[in-house]
Amino acid sequence: MGYLTLDRLVKSYDGRVNAVDEISIDIAKGEFLTFLGPSGSGKTTTLMMIAGFEEPTSGVIELGGENLARRKPYERNIGVVFQNYALFPHMTVARNVAFPLRMRGFPRAEQVTRVHEILDLVGLRAFADKYPRQLSGGQQQRVALARGLVFNPDVLLLDEPLGALDKNLREQMQVELKRIHREVGITMVYVTHDQTEAMTMSDRIAVFSRGTLEQTAPPLEVYHRPRTRFVGEFIGDSNFFTGTIDATAPGRVELDRFGPIQADAETCRGIGRGQVDVLVRPERLQLVRPGDRAVLPNRLAIKINVIVNYGDSVLAIGDAAGQVIRVRIAGAPPEAVREGATVTVGWAPGDEHLIARAAGA
């Protein structure tokens, strides 16, 4: 049993289509769990049901073993941080942060002490007397975070809180959020469509698609061992091939366009037989040099169409047998890697990930 448990949670607005469809997750106390998915996948609706702003059509939400169904939002001791900050413009930073304490009837002396402590935590003690209009976007977001934490909630919900920030500030706030989570030890549920945010901060990621859960797992497992093709394509860059496991030869997979490859034999045995999606991440593909045949038996000749330079690496995007192939090359690429050139890339058995395809898929 989790500390925060969602059991077969359903939300329908029209009685016909489920915006959230049978979501079940156990969230541990002190965990940082991220709901990740495209727009309209149900992640924010699920968050709002936890907060009490949306009522489930069916299913159970339990916190510490208690059913929250009959509790109003203000009775749930759950903090919420929104993307648009939702700060009171006529109140100072200190008064904004103290607002939840006043609403809960905390003694005034305790309010002052608690506000000072939480502003120290988010690095805004010196801005206590400023108004929101006098702060940067990042500072306003810290105020919203402080307000969500100040009353010691059981759970803190964050709905795309960094979406309005620029790239550098967003990355700084990712580090800050992780630090605060570590120091406070609170259970956090975070909603985003940004893969980098999810990978950077989360203990686990719950990947949403069309109102359902595709996979819930630690970030590296979601990246390296996605349970479905959707997860593999949504998280990071990917190269997908379709093929069929050859049950007569250990580890042999016959790709539809490219012929046989040698995959991890144990993985093939675990799947058995049938069609599979074969995922090879761009960084797993290597330029083939003379003498590499033994270690890189799986090979593709690709014509490079575009090269994207990231400074510490380049992404070569090319074509092989009519399929787009992406290759990540660390450092400065050799002169042979240029737009218009044809190069051979390969990977070793086990550098791919196999996903069994459902019948009829």
Per-residue pLDDT, 184 = 92
CB 30 within 8 A of CB 186: yes
Residue 275 sits at φ, ψ, to 5 deg, of: -80, 145
Rounded Cα–Cα distance for residues 316 and 286 (Å)? 11
Name the token pair of 171.
């990355």
Q: What is the DSSP letter of 358?
A: P
What lies within 8 Å, CB to CB, of 217 at 6+ separation is 204, 205, 225, 227
> In this predicted structure, what is the pLDDT of residue 283?
95
Task: Round to whole Å and give the CA distance between 328 and 311.
Answer: 12
Residue 292 Cα distances to 252, 299, 313, angstroms = 19, 10, 22
Which DSSP state fits 21? E
Q: What are phi and psi of 223, to 5 degrees?
A: -75, -50
**pLDDT, position 164:** 74
pLDDT in tens, the chain (361 residues): 589 999 999 999 998 999 999 999 999 999 999 999 999 999 999 999 999 999 999 999 999 999 998 889 988 999 999 888 889 999 999 999 999 999 999 999 999 999 999 999 999 999 999 999 999 988 999 999 999 999 999 999 999 988 878 888 888 888 889 999 999 999 999 999 999 899 999 999 999 999 999 999 999 999 999 999 999 999 999 999 999 999 889 999 999 989 999 999 999 999 988 999 999 999 999 998 876 666 889 999 999 999 999 888 999 999 999 999 999 998 877 888 899 999 999 999 999 999 998 765 5
Q: How many CB atoms lie within 10 A of CB 306?
A: 11
Give me 20's structure tokens.
């959230």
On whether the CB atoms of residues 12 and 24 are closer than 8 A, the answer is: no
| Torsion 152-155-159-165 (CA) sign | positive
Strand partners, 353: 279
Going by C-alpha positions, the residue among 156, 174, 184 that lies closest to residue 219 is 174
In this prediction the pTM is: 0.92
DSSP 296: -
The identity of residue 280, as a single letter, is V
Domains of the chain with CATH codes: 4-229 (3.40.50.300), 237-356 (2.40.50.140)
Q: Residues, the chain, total?
A: 361
Strands (E), the chain: 4-12, 18-27, 32-36, 58-63, 66-67, 78-81, 155-159, 187-192, 204-209, 212-217, 239-245, 252-255, 259-262, 274-280, 286-287, 298-309, 313-320, 323-330, 342-347, 353-356
SS3 196: helix
What distance in Å separates the CA atoms of residue 228 and residue 355, rounded to the nearest whole number?
6
Residues 296 and 250 sit within 8 Å (Cβ to Cβ) = no
**pLDDT at 165 (0 to 100):** 80
